[in-house]
Amino acid sequence: MRKLVFRFVLILLLGIFCLWVSLPETTGFEIDVTGSAEPEFTLNVTQSLGLDLVGGLRVLLVAELPTDAFTPQELQQAANNVSRRVNGLGVTEATVQVQGNNRILVELPGITDQAQAVNTIQQTALLEFVNFSGLGGQAQTLEGQQVITTQQVAIQNQRIQAQSDNPDADSEAPPALQGAVNPLTGLPFETVMDGSGLQAATAQFENNGWFISFELTPEGAAIFGPYTAANVNQPMAIVLDGVVLSSPVIRAQLTTGGVIEGDFTEAEARQLALQLRSGALPIPLRVDSADVVGATLGQESVSLSIRAGVIGVAIVLMFMLIYYRVPGVAADGALIMFILLNLALFKLIPLTLTLPAITGFLISIGTAVDGNILIFERIKEELRAGKRLSEAVEAGFDRAWNSIRDSNFSTILICAILFLFGQTPGASVVSGFAITLALGLLVNLFTAVFVTGTILRLLVKLGEKSLQTRNWLMGA
């Protein structure tokens, strides 16, 4: 009996915590018992809503090259890189979808800084390590200046050739390259390696300044290592989109990586590191349109949906109480706990709620009721077979467990398959449905057995004599 009371208190405390987390105004808390400047424990909870519920930004990107100048695989790779950049912006449940043979549609729910989002998505972030050997002190004077490189010339020639091959294409002619050339040769500066040779890039802060630390790929190391070994004590420029960020002097051979310095602010360093991590876009893209979209449902429709959900849950609670009586009390308590746990997990993880995600949650409520029904029907069968009430309860839970476990895990397996399909750009809403449904099924394994079992066993212990002679109270 003491163990049951202890479990019930734990469930009650967990329910209160989940209720607090689920409240719309709850954003988290901090614990500081020592009075130090930094809190010892911080819990942040947020509720993310999808584009169909909260609105956001819809960006349509169009390839600047004609369709015969790139392959569908390259367009898909560009979409994948855009998707990684979007994830780096902290946007979840974003939709990145290839449309036709030259367009990419990006939907960003709840985005606030539209200019930054469009800039981060579109920029090719052409990073170049440029040969400044022989310039000596002249290298410093070029910092912050626009320069012309062999890589830029190659890209420009590709765009011009693509337009000449397709004169009917609806796109503007690329602007002429502007900037300084190598004063020693009168030709564009030589590009030693571009950003494709980078494996990782992170923004870091040290000595009152932000910089980007990078690591090289094996292919990048094969280029960078020999070059730096042959040009020790010579300057080398780090150029981003044609602008010289810095021109450090090579002090030793670099075979694994290095740093990029350029008097960055924190926002600039993080954005550049994100673009470099995501990879340069294999196809130059231009923004065809960028529109702010309102919530598809609207506030009134969201309110009606919530009201319908509350009414549906209330009907289920009444049905369980009327049909199963005392076990129905346990089922109602477990169902309320199930809902609170799911709502709290949505904010703690956090998950982005879209219409499909909410649908997955509502379906999982049905599975939670199914688990209780299996247990109660098995208890009724044991009582009809003449077993004592306490024995019937234990047998009901033991024998129904296998069915609950197998049915839930088989559905979770289907959710895993849906989640994998949802990783395809443009199908992320499928992932949202799969995640909330699978999460609900896992929570159901806890509430249907532990919560329902604890409450029902406690009720049976408290009124076993009356319930033993009145099987109708057990729904039998």
Mind giving me the DSSP string for 421-459?
Answer: HTTSTT-HHHHHHHHHHHHHHHHHHHIIIIIHHHHHHHH
Q: Which of 260, 275, 256 is nearest to 215 (CA)?
A: 256
Amino acid 186: pLDDT: 93
Of the pLDDT bands very low, low, confident and very high (cuts 50, 70, 90), residue 194 is confident
Alpha-carbon distance of 323 to 114, in angstroms, equals 54
CA distances from 32 to 43, 353, 419 (A): 12, 32, 39
CA distance 319 to 365: 14
Q: Residue 188 carries which DSSP code? A: P
Q: Quote the CA–CA distance of 450 and 469 in Å, as a whole number.
A: 26
Question: How far is residue 392 from each of residues 400, 452, 456, measured CA to CA in Å?
Answer: 12, 15, 12
CA distance 166 to 169: 6
| Phi, psi (rounded to 5 degrees) for 8 | -65, -40
What average pLDDT does the segment 52-75 reach? 80
Centroid of chain to Cα 71: 28
Where is mean pLDDT largest: 108-117, 260-269, 295-304, 423-432? 260-269
Type of residue at 195: G
Q: pLDDT tens, 211-228?
A: 888 888 898 899 999 999
Sign (positive/negative) of CA torsion 226, 227, 228, 232?
Answer: positive
The arithmetic mean of pLDDT across residues 225-241, rounded, is: 89
* The two three-digit tokens of residue 305, written as one number: 């949906």
Q: Mean pLDDT over residues 419-446, rounded?
A: 83
**Of 77-91, 145-159, 232-246, 449-463, highest mean pLDDT:** 449-463
pLDDT band at 89 (very low <50, low <70, confident <90, very high): low
How many CB atoms within 10 Å of residue 279?
18
Rounded distance, CA 427 to CA 189, Å? 44
Predicted local confidence at residue 440, as pLDDT: 94
Residue from 334, 371, 342, 372 nearest 455 by CA: 334
Residue among 46, 24, 110 nearest 349 (CA): 46
Instruction: Classify 224 in phi/psi space as left (phi over 0), alpha (psi -120 to 50) or beta.
Output: alpha
Q: Mean pLDDT highest for which of 17-31, 166-180, 288-302?
A: 17-31
Q: Give 111-147 as a 3 state SS string.
A: CCCHHHHHHHHHCCCCEEEEECCCCCCHHHHCCCCEE
Q: Is the model more confident about 342 or about 52?
A: 342
Question: What integer pLDDT is reported at residue 133 of this predicted model?
Answer: 93
Residues 96, 411, 52, 15: is their CA dihedral positive or negative?
negative
Rounded CA separation 464/371 (Å): 23
C-alpha span between 434 and 399 (Å, rounded): 28
Looking at residue 281, its pLDDT comes to 67
**Average pLDDT of span 318-324:** 92
332-379: pLDDT as tens digits: 999 999 999 999 999 888 787 877 888 889 889 888 888 899 999 999
CB 179 within 8 A of CB 146: yes
Q: List the alpha helices (DSSP H) in 285-426.
A: 298-324, 326-348, 355-384, 389-421
Q: Is the pLDDT of residue 144 over 60?
A: yes
DSSP β-ladder status, 41-44 and 285-293: unpaired
3-state secondary structure (DSSP) of residue 193: strand
Radius of gyration of the chain (CA): 31
27, 319, 401 from 371: Cα distances, Å = 33, 15, 9
> Is residue 174 scored above 70 in pLDDT?
no
**If you average pLDDT over every residue of the chain, what do you get?**
82
Closest CA to 143 of 178, 175, 180, 176: 180
Q: Are 191 and 151 in contact (CB under 8 A)?
A: yes
pTM: 0.61
Reduced to 3 states, what is the DSSP secondary structure of residue 1? coil
How many residues are given for the chain? 476
pLDDT tens column, 19-41 = 999 988 887 766 555 555 455 56
Q: Residue 149 and residue 128: Cα distance in Å, rounded? A: 9
DSSP state for residue 231 in the 8-state scheme:
T
For each of the domains in the chain, give its residue range(s) and CATH number, in order of start: 2-31+297-474 (1.20.1640.10), 48-121 (3.30.70.3220), 124-292 (3.30.1360.200)
Q: What are phi and psi of 34, to 5 degrees?
A: -105, -10
Q: Is the dihedral of CA 203, 208, 209, 215 positive or negative?
A: negative
**Which of 214, 252, 218, 222 lies closest to 236, judged by CA?**
252
Dihedral of the alpha carbons of 434, 435, 440, 446, in degrees to the nearest 10: 130
